[in-house]
Every structure is written in C-alpha cells, then in structure tokens.
Structure 1
Amino acid sequence: MFLIQGRFIVGNKEFEDAFSDRVLFEAWQQYLISSNKDVPETWTETAISDLRATCVAENAKFSKEIRKLNSGGKKMTKPILGRAIAQRVNPEELPETLSSLIELLK
C-alpha cells in the first residue's frame, strides 16, 4: 500500500487488479445470477487470468478490458463491480494492502 498525495494505492494500477482472478470471477458471476442474468461464456477465471497477464504485458487498463469478458451480461461499472466484490469477498481474501488500509481507518 502506498500513500501518494493523500491517496492510497491498493492495486498495481487499479482497484480491480488487487483482487484474485477467482474473487473477480465469482463476485461478478454471483452478481449476474442474483440479477437473473446469464453468465457470458467468456466470463471465466482462466479468461480473467489471461486478460490480466495481457494487460500487464501491454500496459493496458485491466478495468476497461475486463468489461469485454462480460459481453452480453449486465452492464459492468466500477461501482457495481466494487459492490459485487464487497458482497463476495471474505476477510481472508482481501489483499494485504486493503486490509492494512481498513485497519488504518478504524
């Protein structure tokens, strides 16, 4: 975790990249199911992992590219994905940097 000009940096580049592929996959999958939407065939843990590696190699925005894996699903925005992650993630699955930030805020 880094503090730069009053901002905490949680992920490598973005909030989403701080979470594991499994957490991202399961959080959005559960969100779609609870919204009575089909989970796109492109939304898989392997696809998320491959996309993450590509984004790192090409210095691309993971948060923008991950939306493409949700083609045909319910609209994905950062706030909606953040809420889906919050509803799914267990405390032991939180990235260490985010756990440290939460502790500082207590």
Structure 2
Amino acid sequence: MTDCLTEPDREPGGDATRSAENAAIERIRERGESVRDRQVERALSELELSERERDAVERLGDRLVERLLAVPEAQLERAASDGDDETLSAALELFSGSR
C-alpha cells in the first residue's frame, strides 16, 4: 500500500485520496489502451482492409475501451469522494501487472 493511502490526517476525498484515484484510473486506462492496441493490431494484420475499414476497426476499439472503462472509473471517483482507500488500493493492485 502506498503512503498516500495511509496518512492519518487525510480527510475523505482529500488530496491523497484524489492522487490515488488518479493513479488507479490512469492504470486502468493504460491497461485498457494496451489491450486495445494489441488486439486491434492483431485483427488488422489478419485482414486485408481499406484505409476506411481500418479506421472503422480502430474507432471500434476506442469505443469498446471507453464503454468498458466508464463504470470502473465512475466507481473509483465515488470511492475517492467517499475516502474509500481500500477500493482505490485494490484497483491499483489489480491493474498494476502487465500482460
């Protein structure tokens, strides 16, 4: 657990919690974008598509990531405003690995 999550003087929704929220959201977003990039590239390499079709596949990947991450990001924002460091810490752990 990081120090910013365990400071005793921290108020719910304070700077330390917002920092943890931002870090958790950033990690989730990076992971989603990494998966999207690999999978879109894989699909594009297996298909013979026009430039317009390639753009459509890339936009589809972007929309999927946006929609899939909207709920977890909103929940992390709520956890931060509630001072729920346990949820923020769990999110950081879940999305810190790389695959």
Which one has more relative contact order, counting CA pairs under 8 Å at least 6 apart? 2
TM class by smaller structure: under 0.3
Please report the TM-score for the alignment, with normalisation by the length of structure 1.
0.23
The structure having more radius of gyration, on CA atoms, is 2
Please report the TM-score for the alignment, with normalisation by the length of structure 2.
0.24
Q: Write 1 or 2 for the structure with the bigger share of strand.
A: 1
